[in-house]
Structure 1
Amino acid sequence: MIRFLLAAMAAFVLPSAVLADPIEYFQVEGVAYDDAIPAPEDILGFGVGDRPIRHDQMVAYLTQIAGLSDRISMETIGYTHEHRPILFFVVTAPENQSRIEDIRQAHLASLAPGAAPSGGPAVIWLNYGVHGAESAGMDAAIPTLYHFAAAQGDAIEETLDDAVILITAIFNPDGHSRRVNHVEAFGADIPVTDPNNEQHNLWTEARTNHYWFDLNRQWLLQTQPESQAWLEQWHRWKPQVSADFHEMGTEATFYFHPGEPLRRNPLIPERARELTQGIAQYHVRFLDSEARLYTSEEGFDNFYVGKGSTYPQVNGSLGILFEIGAARGGLIESERGLVRHGENVRTHFRTSLTTVEGALAQRDAIMAYQREFFASAMQRAARDSDRAYVFSADGDPERLNLFVDLLARHDVTVNTLARDVRVNGHTYRAGEAAIVQLAQPQYTMIRSIFDRVTEFDENIFYDVSGWTLPLAYDLEYAALGRAWSSDLAGAVLRPRETGANAPARSTYGYVLRWSDYYAPRSLYRLLDHDVRVRVATENVTIPVLGGPRQFAPGAVFVPLVGQDVSHDEIYALVREAAETDGVAAFSVTSGSTPGNSPDLGDRAGFRSVDQPSVLVLFDAGIASYDAGEVWHLLDHRMNIPVTLRRKDQLGGLDWSRYTHLIIVGGGNTRLSERDATRVQQWIREDGGVVIASRQGALMAQEVFLGVEADDDDDASGDEESGERPDRRNYSDLPVDDAEHIIGGAIFAGDLDPSHPIGFGYADRFIALHRNMTETLEWPEDDPFAVPVQYNEDPLLSGYASTRRQEEIAGTPAVVAQRRGRGAVVLFADNPNFRATFRGAEKMFLNAIFFSRLISPPSGDY
């Protein structure tokens, strides 16, 4: 009765219900449904497909039916950046619900080598809405959970007896909400099916989360709260089947795994493909019954392990991708006819059911496969000559801790290093390094994280080809083959809270180590509180409590003299740097330094830095992923405020407010002639700093440095002489100047740690992400302007053709030059790629804080 009353009321207050689908459209033929479970329109006031369903409405409805059904338990497993809840549902028979923890523990225990099968229910995972613009993948959670709560009869009872179904209703609530706002903002009483209508133009903006991250690349990288929440639950259960529901271009039909046969990660057993094909037959049966168009085994690969359909496959599960041609705003024209949102939702709902059906039909075989996967992993680990990996982050324990945390999220056990060990010329020290033994169930995942792969059967990739994470974190690491012995592995090492011991009070000042990961956050906080600081420009030995200690360039000296801030306030900020940011902080006892180190009052050895004010361009051709990674790094990680501005709306800005302009890559990074002229003036006269990466760097090199790229020239050197341009260490600039005065896959780079861009690095090796084929040009007459150069044999991990490797070898990875009072810093590729290259990030932060420390040469070169 309630349903009919609400429907009658809606006829007077809602727009035309052309798109509306009553619950009967989604109910399975021949199945009775419990009237005690309200249908969506009973609560929402409209049917699924009629209009976008806001996140709060979905939360309210799904929470209500979970509370009414003894088949469903629900919990909030995390919150997004915009503080929206992420809901997780466990669906099974009431009798299973009463002993659900015992079922989970028995299932996990059955995966141990030699353990007996659990004999329990199948564990099946369904996730919806990882991309906010892909509405069918989100809304399909509603009829799915309604069906499991309300369906009656022997078939559903048997299914729920035999299965535990795990559902994350919306993976990406923030992107989902952005999509809803857009569709509603441009909605009309009469649906507009024209693809050119703005209502349908929301794909990129709504796809991502708050910081514009593609969450379907976050299964591996784990930098966002949404992915951290769902992966914790995934490993708590280790499901046997994982289904991932998406949308694709409107003109496409319907796709389901298995994927391209030749594009399978070699760590995935062929047996997984065979079992997935078995499940696929149930999708085929349903789709054929309704004469629907579909495709499988083409267009989508299973290579990059960070995607929702591939990650499960290197963790013992069957990963299944579903993609359907998007209805965009709700109803849209296509060459194959009108595409309707409600119909897409129904297709995803019904293939959710066929996934469960197909998994249960092969239940014993799939359970045996999962157990064999982990047993085989242990056997391969026992035969592996590497035995273990040891790794460290010299001078930056927090970066090591972040990597340990990443491994823990992938259920990888890490141990402390119990004694010093020397491998490949590097000494890893007990108490500072960690070790991962390969002989553990997550052997396959460990291999996917640590391996460097540079040879491939096929060089076509849907996503990145190289993701060796120790390189991304700039760790010293090595395989322990002959050097391995069991006494190297100490206690289990778990992630710890960030923090270090605060120094004692000083009567002279304090020094902060710049190599620590969160040192930029501490420095900005000091500057934001009007504390004057000085930064070391060379190696220096400083007298601190406990005895003199050597510090590398970039060390932050906070004197007590000459401050407008009280000594108590300064100490509180230094203490916060240590205890909150984990930055090593020391109490200075004297301004007189031993040996040849510059004294703390030396103007050349210690330079003052100013508080940065950062302007980041986005939109109008700028890649949102790249811009979002900068925004996330500065705002979320380093607590540095960022002004976001659309690239084509720079007119009227008060440029004196800003110290730094950041231009990342994209399809069109070029500024208007008027804006480029104004930025040129801001650099030269106001001391502004441009930091640019990828296509932004190519544009900035031409516009702001006056270097024209010449495709005909040899990018790696002088075409006529065959010689490479002169390149010198920045630390040699004073001497070399005086001599002439009368009176980018993962690529390896050579980094000059004496250059301000290299401050805080322990050695010259740096791993750089690379997905650009274009190269930066060598600066003329300034051999100190290339703080990072690609190595002669640059490829570390991933695919790059021999031609591309030769073109990139020896070219500048970073160019940093003064221009008037300002500077231009160019990155050949993205140093902040997916918030994961924590080693390269420091160069970017150095460009923000230290770019004005760069001195131009005055010698004749």
Structure 2
Amino acid sequence: MSVFRSILALLVLGLASPVLAEPIGFFQLSDTRYNPSVPAPEDRFGFGVGERPVRHDQMVSYLTEIAQGSDRITVETIGYTHEHRPILFFVVTSPENQSRIEDIRAAHLAQLDPAAAAGNGPAIVWLNYGVHGAEPSGMDAAIPMLYHLAAAEGAEIEQTLRDSVVLITAVFNPDGHNRRASLVEMFGSDIAVTDPAHAQHNWPSARTNHYWFDLNRQWLLQTQPESQAWLTQWHHWKPQVSADFHEMGTDATFYFHPGEPRRLNPLIPGRARELTRNIAQHHIGFLDQEARLYTTEEGFDNFYVGKGSTYPQVNGSLGILFEIGSARGGLIESNHGLVSHGDNVRTQFRTGLTTIAGALAQRREIAAYQRQFFADAAASAGRDRTRGYVFSAEGDPARLNLFLDLLDRHDVTVHALARDLRADGRTYRAGEAYIVPMQQRQYVMIRALFDRVTSFEENVFYDVSGWTLPLAYDLEYSALTGNLSAQSLGEVARPGNIAFSAPPVSSYGYVLRWSDYYAPRALYRLLDADIRVRIATETAMIMTHEGLIEFGPGTAFIPLVGQDVSAADIHDLAGRIAAEDGVPVYSATTGSTPGDTPDLGDRNGFRPVERPEILLLFDDGISLYDAGEVWHQLDHRMQIPVTLRRKSELAGLDWSRYTHLVVVGGNNTGFAGADLERIRDWIRDDGGVLIASRQAAQMAQRAFFDLDEDADDAAAETGEPVRRDYAAMPVDDAEHVIGGAIFAGDLDTSHPIGFGYSDRFIAVHRNTEFVLDRPEDDPFAVVVEYAADPLLSGYASQRRRDEIAGTPAVIAQRLGRGSVVMFADNPNFRATFRGPEKMFLNAVFFGGLINRPRGDY
């Protein structure tokens, strides 16, 4: 019998600590009485926590029952997931505090104003449970936590509840957790299988939400309903301490903050580390008492502000990350013995209690720190040379509204621009632009959103290094260095629904511009209704019901002649597009255009497009995150159906059904020989359009354009061998990485992939190190070229900057009857880079409009 099987036998016989599941007594504190009228989990589930996965619906039912039966707890549903599962939010405190909970919250927020008197209210502690569905102990810990807070009796718990308000979200990622529970149950066995290779221990897709987004990167970006729900509550309370519970690799032990001291975002005060370290002493006391292995202050950093443990720290709170070695399916072998899910849940639960205890032990110090954070922010804003930011989005009110919504979610105050303003050689017009003043409570958050950072103390990053969100949203924006005039600040702006009135009935046809964010959704609605649409390939002056208007390339013209759909139905759909998609629709009054612009019947100036039928590949080495971002962009935002198919399952596919194939990056974007030949034939002979990003773009160049795989390999350097200390490896290895940075590109707005843009400047996200080769026989193929000095924000070594400068960022080439569009990086990155997203959608709709050069170049 193996050592692991011997240990397992002893544990099952009860001769050692329990490993699978115990009644609630396993989680109860030995020196605490519990109210027997509060139902235990096993009374409702039929099994103990840790014995088998707790489904989300079971958890919702049980925790709601506890809350409704307790005068200490209130519960509300704060949002729903893509799969329409509820997200529950619990407020836990003493019955006396519950009776005046709104007064407590209002007083807490009021004392954050440096001009107001300091408060002396309860500590406000937030517990994040279950942001990653594949990390179940972080979610299941909410069960014993809420049971304990409801059922524990005695002077200690009553004092804790009087002195604190505990805010619990259960759970952050219901869809991912439900996927995990189903997969674990699918491969469950009567006898626990501890072999890490067992299928029950492997379900990476459960980490993410429905569209495969990592929700722990959503605190900043706010594109998913789960994060939008919880961040609303976070700012509703602005807690003083936020704890975030996770799992890591099975062979790891237990980690807690403070994080890596050398990688601290400069916007986070050093005092935050001191207070967090003091709280950590409470974790250490518990863990030492039980002789558990743990580590702190290493490996995990606090640089990227979009994570659950770092975002609070640029908003005046203390953020604490917990990471425990995962038990995966429930009980698994590790290099330090057997790891059980039930035991992990207990550890996460108990360190949740030590977080509350640590917060209460320095309650006044933490309250003073939070208050000082905002006082220092006000003082810094007063000294800052930048007094505010002005921004606009020419020709795209929907994209502008999306950015307003983002700022609103981060509690940033925005004003409408009341009068025209000149900055950076650009005129920002009243009614079309907005101002963010720096002098406001969220000064630090504004810095996190708007700053361009390109120099770093250390170039090792747990996540991306550059997040300048006005660049990501492709906004025109400028820093304002003079005093802001009160006359420039209009009313406080709020996001709203963008809707336009229906155009008047036309006797000729309708026009919609391509610069609007949801124009692709509108175009697909037209094509899906079997309405013929013609796309402008150059600027056209069109006479409309609002007079003569200049429309750019990409403009959609819907003629009334030659349609199989009635004019009345076309007008009805045009009205719904204006109202529902926020895309203005114009009535054309004549087909004649003035000057040199093409008439609406010009066969080259206005070309027909077909409805796209899209095949998106995933799995088998393709990045699930990248594929999910494409799926979300097309399906959720643009309402375009997408066929999802595993890359390894292409045999027998009816390729004639599809017009577009999307292949994203990953560690294996290559195809088997037969599949590669079929894709080449589909592009060359059937006119298919391949859209490839990151490593898949490099693969496409090699596979379809006869490039030598080793052509760009650097020659071996000569000279003396280099010897470096092993301890320097992490930093030296990272010297020439690109830490998720933002680069500047020059966009050919006359190219079909560049239709709908107002200027040639484009900001693109980049975290790959290779470069695409410039096509030698097609000088028109480079849609975007990196600037000579390309880095806008984030980290990239000078070597990488030099290598990337002037190289293609986006290439679009004909291949036979079809086209291949190649993105050096991910245009849909985390559903946030609104500029490159439009290029991706242009590839979907206009990939067939790309012409092949005829000259000898």
For 1:491 and 1:382, locate their aligned partners in 2 and report how far apart those are by CA, in whole Å.
Answer: 22
TM-score computed with the length of structure 2 as normaliser:
0.95
Query: 1:684: which partner in 2?
Result: 684
For 1:546 and 1:287, locate their aligned partners in 2 and report how far apart those are by CA, in whole Å.
Answer: 72
User: Which secondary structure does the structure 2 equivalent of 1:412 belong to?
Assistant: coil
Query: 1:465: which partner in 2?
Result: 465
Give, as a single letter, the amino acid of the residue that structure 2 aligns with 1:170: V
For 2:493 and 2:712, locate their aligned partners in 1 and report how far apart those are by CA, in whole Å.
Answer: 54
Query: 1:423: which partner in 2?
Result: 423
Query: 1:797: which partner in 2?
Result: 793
- Per-residue deviation at 1:817? 0.5
Divergent runs of 4+, >6 A? none
For 1:632 and 1:305, locate their aligned partners in 2 and report how far apart those are by CA, in whole Å.
Answer: 23
Query: 2:606: which partner in 1?
Result: 606
For 1:92 and 1:390, locate their aligned partners in 2 and report how far apart those are by CA, in whole Å.
Answer: 43
- Per-residue deviation at 1:505? 1.2
User: Which secondary structure does the structure 1 equivalent of 2:787 belong to?
Assistant: strand
For 1:751 and 1:584, locate their aligned partners in 2 and report how far apart those are by CA, in whole Å.
Answer: 25
User: Which secondary structure does the structure 1 equivalent of 2:479 belong to?
Assistant: strand
Q: Determine if contact 2:135/2:326 at 8 Å carries over to the other structure.
A: yes
Q: Is 2:37 aligned against 1:41?
A: no
For 1:710 and 1:397, locate their aligned partners in 2 and report how far apart those are by CA, in whole Å.
Answer: 46
Q: Determine if contact 1:251/1:335 at 8 Å carries over to the other structure.
A: yes
Q: Determine if contact 2:333/2:339 at 8 Å carries over to the other structure.
A: yes
Match for residue 822 of structure 2 among 811, 822, 826: 826
Q: Deviations over 1:679-709 (max 9, x none)?
A: 1110111100100000011111111222234
Q: Determine if contact 1:326/1:339 at 8 Å carries over to the other structure.
A: yes
- Per-residue deviation at 1:117? 2.0
Query: 2:391: which partner in 1?
Result: 391
- Per-residue deviation at 1:626? 0.1
- Per-residue deviation at 1:503? 1.3
- Per-residue deviation at 1:712? 4.2
Q: Determine if contact 2:132/2:215 at 8 Å carries over to the other structure.
A: yes
For 1:354 and 1:681, locate their aligned partners in 2 and report how far apart those are by CA, in whole Å.
Answer: 63
Query: 1:4: which partner in 2?
Result: none
Select between 840-849 and 420-429 the one with higher mean Cα deviation: 420-429
Q: Deviations over 1:739-771 (max 9, x none)?
A: xxxxx9000000000000000000000000000
For 1:638 and 1:118, locate their aligned partners in 2 and report how far apart those are by CA, in whole Å.
Answer: 48
For 2:425 and 2:631, locate their aligned partners in 1 and report how far apart those are by CA, in whole Å.
Answer: 38
Q: Determine if contact 2:19/2:331 at 8 Å carries over to the other structure.
A: no
Q: Mapping of 1:773-792 within 5 angstroms? A: 773-792=769-788
Match for residue 761 of structure 1 among 740, 751, 757: 757
Percentage of matched positions with identical amino acids:
71
Q: Mapping of 1:504-519 within 5 angstroms? A: 504-519=504-519
- Per-residue deviation at 1:856? 0.2
User: Which secondary structure does the structure 1 equivalent of 2:137 belong to?
Assistant: helix
TM-score computed with the length of structure 1 as normaliser:
0.94
Give, as a single letter, the amino acid of the residue that structure 2 aligns with 1:336: H
Query: 1:297: which partner in 2?
Result: 297
Match for residue 849 of structure 1 among 838, 845, 848: 845
For 2:539 and 2:418, locate their aligned partners in 1 and report how far apart those are by CA, in whole Å.
Answer: 31
User: Which secondary structure does the structure 1 equivalent of 2:312 belong to?
Assistant: helix
Q: Determine if contact 2:783/2:812 at 8 Å carries over to the other structure.
A: yes
Q: Determine if contact 2:245/2:348 at 8 Å carries over to the other structure.
A: yes
Q: Deviations over 1:331-382 (max 9, x none)?
A: 0001100000000000000000000000000000000000010111111111
> Residue 522 and residue 712 in structure 1: after superposition, are their counterparts in 2 closer, same or farther (change >3 A)?
closer
User: How many pairs does the alignment contain?
Assistant: 817
Query: 2:171: which partner in 1?
Result: 170
Give, as a single letter, the amino acid of the residue that structure 1 aligns with 2:97: N
User: Which secondary structure does the structure 1 equivalent of 2:324 belong to?
Assistant: strand
> Residue 582 and residue 150 in structure 1: after superposition, are their counterparts in 2 closer, same or farther (change >3 A)?
same
Query: 1:731: which partner in 2?
Result: none
Q: Where does structure 1 lack aligned partners over 5 or more consecutive residues?
A: 1-10, 12-16, 716-743
Query: 1:58: which partner in 2?
Result: 59
Query: 1:720: which partner in 2?
Result: none
Q: Determine if contact 1:423/1:483 at 8 Å carries over to the other structure.
A: no
Q: Determine if contact 1:709/1:777 at 8 Å carries over to the other structure.
A: no
Q: Mapping of 1:261-410 within 5 angstroms? A: 261-410=261-410
For 2:498 and 2:33, locate their aligned partners in 1 and report how far apart those are by CA, in whole Å.
Answer: 54
For 2:713 and 2:297, locate their aligned partners in 1 and report how far apart those are by CA, in whole Å.
Answer: 43
Q: Where does structure 2 lack aligned partners over 5 or more consecutive residues?
A: 1-11, 13-17, 716-739
Query: 2:808: which partner in 1?
Result: 812
Q: Mapping of 1:399-798 within 5 angstroms? A: 399-482=399-482, 484-710=484-710, 712=712, 745-798=741-794
Match for residue 840 of structure 1 among 831, 836, 842: 836
For 1:72 and 1:382, locate their aligned partners in 2 and report how far apart those are by CA, in whole Å.
Answer: 42
For 1:415 and 1:456, locate their aligned partners in 2 and report how far apart those are by CA, in whole Å.
Answer: 33
User: Which secondary structure does the structure 2 equivalent of 1:358 belong to?
Assistant: helix
- Per-residue deviation at 1:711? 5.3
For 1:762 and 1:70, locate their aligned partners in 2 and report how far apart those are by CA, in whole Å.
Answer: 58
Give, as a single letter, the amino acid of the residue that structure 1 aligns with 2:832: T
Query: 1:722: which partner in 2?
Result: none
Give, as a single letter, the amino acid of the residue that structure 2 aligns with 1:109: A
Select between 567-576 and 754-763 the one with higher mean Cα deviation: 567-576
For 2:612 and 2:36, locate their aligned partners in 1 and report how far apart those are by CA, in whole Å.
Answer: 61
- Per-residue deviation at 1:320? 0.2
> Residue 714 and residue 418 in structure 1: after superposition, are their counterparts in 2 closer, same or farther (change >3 A)?
farther
User: Which secondary structure does the structure 2 equivalent of 1:568 belong to?
Assistant: helix
Select between 679-688 and 215-224 the one with higher mean Cα deviation: 679-688
- Per-residue deviation at 1:485? 2.2
Q: Deviations over 1:464-490 (max 9, x none)?
A: 000100000000101001273232111
Select between 235-244 and 480-489 the one with higher mean Cα deviation: 480-489
Q: Deviations over 1:86-128 (max 9, x none)?
A: 0000000001111111111111111112211222111100011
Q: Mapping of 1:6-85 within 5 angstroms? A: 19-85=20-86
User: Which secondary structure does the structure 2 equivalent of 1:196 belong to?
Assistant: coil
